[in-house]
Amino acid sequence: MGSTTKETVNTALREVLESRRRALALARLRAAVGDGAFDPELFENKGNRRR
């Protein structure tokens, strides 16, 4: 393996922080949808996408 305990802990902490960032971003996105900031249907309709 070659991994030290410190490297393992640092890797785990980075993964936890990244997961938390994604969870917060998703919560903000859900709140924006709930507030009517944009229509999520636009993202589901593939015909509206640019090429």
Residue ranges covered by each domain of the chain: 5-48
Q: How far apart are CA 29 and CA 20, in angstroms?
A: 14
| 22-49 pLDDT per residue, tens | 999 999 999 998 898 887 777 777 665 6
Q: Assess contact for 48 and 42: CB atoms under 8 A.
A: yes
pLDDT at 51 over 60: no
Question: Model-level pTM?
Answer: 0.63
